[in-house]
Amino acid sequence: MTDKHNQGWHFDNSYQRLPGLFYTRVQPAEAEQPEIVLFNETLAAQLGLDSSKLKQELEIFAGNHLPDGSMPIAQAYAGHQFASFTMLGDGRAVLLGEQITPSGARVDIQLKGSGRTPYSRGGDGRAVLGPMIREYLISEAMYGLRIPTTRSLAVTTTGEKVHREAPFPGAVLTRVAASHIRVGTFQYARQWGDKQDLQTLADYTIDRHYPEIANDENPYLSLLNKTAEKQAALIAQWQLKGFIHGVMNTDNVAISGETIDYGPCAFMDAYDRQTVFSSIDRQGRYAYGNQPEIGAWNMARFAESMLILIDDVEEQALPKAKAVIQRYLKLVEENWLDGMRAKLGISDKKEQDVVLIQRLLDLMEQHRADFTNTFRSLTLQQLDTGVRLFQSKAFDKWYQQWQDRLAEQALSKEEAYQRMKQHNPSIIPRNHLVEEAITEAMSHQNYQPIHNLLAVCKDPYAYTKEQASYAEEPPDQPYTTYCGT
């Protein structure tokens, strides 16, 4: 059934002009008693949607009604999951279509948790409320942190129970993305399509995301390069903010360069390169310190899928692709190093900066110093004498070296600290606060803690009084995240 009210939807469905190999037309399952519990009015306005009318038509966000112009599909893709290659696809998500925003941008509107599809692999296609709240919270906090990310428009409860290890309230998340084209989409085309299918997908991706390379001498090599550049910039930002994705499978690598899929993700508290939160990452494959190298591994899998397009003779394409991977590794290091300089108020470049930065991180790891709050304290020049790191003589020595380095540059000390404020968040969505907010919503239908957390995370660089209590460090106890499927 099509909704007849005009809420500002302006859909196109260009993905469906690809070969049928890439998707299956489906209908989202209807929810028994839908209720919007979270709605992103700011994002709705950016999309050109009328919030007042949309909230009255809540069944759109449960999948019961379809917006005018939508043509729902489930996308097909594959992926290396913990290095094992498998066929995947949207097993619990439905792409309603592509909204054309007032600015002319094209974004996917997807319902996550809207029932079975042909790619469900025996699953029920449903989602539990807790993980959908989690994705809403973290994705919007990432947006506030200025890290490229998919966005969350709404969370809608379904009035039904979803059975996992126990019955939980069901929900649907409305996700907004530049696109849902993944490295795994190209792997799928290479494995189950022919060369023409792969080229059609590549041409579509270039037209949608990187039209400036369409007339390059080798646009497919340029696509590999562009994607590697985006991933290098993205993963460097993760490292600079202490974000751990938790499941960096190739099906979770968006060609657009956005962070996608907030399953077992979390933010690091005490600095430790080996930090892992995911319950399923028992070997630490996706630990914080491994993320840049895993990014290179994922780009290598993308390159393998593209070799036949880069050169008709794959053996001749191989050295070109390897050069891109090497460039990625250099770029992620350069992006990270530039970001660390900014976090320390350094505006120019000197070779010894690497030693200065690494020495601080080593001291932080040695003393289990909180990642975010260490840089917050340096930014505010408030070095709490109760913090072990700040009590050490080794830190005193480092601090003096840092001050000497700041004195060598053109920026004044005041300007350097202002620079630090722009790159060091006052707060992050602390894991324990996220869990407390989700528990309140799940157990007591109290969404106020979520709204409070969203409000202070909207501008994490503001350093307001309201943010101070959210910056307090959590109890030092083990924390584990789960993928939510």
Q: Cβ(205)–Cβ(255) under 8 Å? A: yes
Distance of alpha carbon 421 from the chain centroid: 23
Whole-angstrom distance, CA of residue 185 vs CA of residue 250: 9
Q: Cβ(436)–Cβ(356) under 8 Å? A: no
- Residues of the chain under the 50 pLDDT cut: 1-4, 485
Q: Cβ(299)–Cβ(325) under 8 Å? A: yes
For residue range 12-64, list pLDDT tens digits in order: 999 999 999 999 999 999 999 999 999 999 999 999 999 888 877 788 999 99
Please give the pLDDT value at position 298.
Answer: 98
Q: Cβ(115)–Cβ(92) under 8 Å? A: yes
User: What secondary structure does DSSP assign to 159-198, as a single string?
Assistant: EEEEESSSEEEEEEEEEEES---BHHHHHHHHHHS-HHHH
Is 251 in the active site? Answer: yes
Active-site position among 3, 12, 124, 251: 251
3-state DSSP call for residue 284? coil
pTM of the prediction?
A: 0.95
Please give the pLDDT value at position 474.
Answer: 83
Please give the pLDDT value at position 1.
Answer: 39
Q: Cβ(135)–Cβ(175) under 8 Å? A: yes
Whole-angstrom distance, CA of residue 222 vs CA of residue 219: 5
Domain ranges of the chain: 11-177, 183-341, 431-471
Please give the pLDDT value at position 482.
Answer: 63
Cα torsion for 306, 310, 316, 318, to the nearest 10°? -40
4, 16, 117, 174, 426 from 111: Cα distances, Å:
20, 17, 12, 5, 32
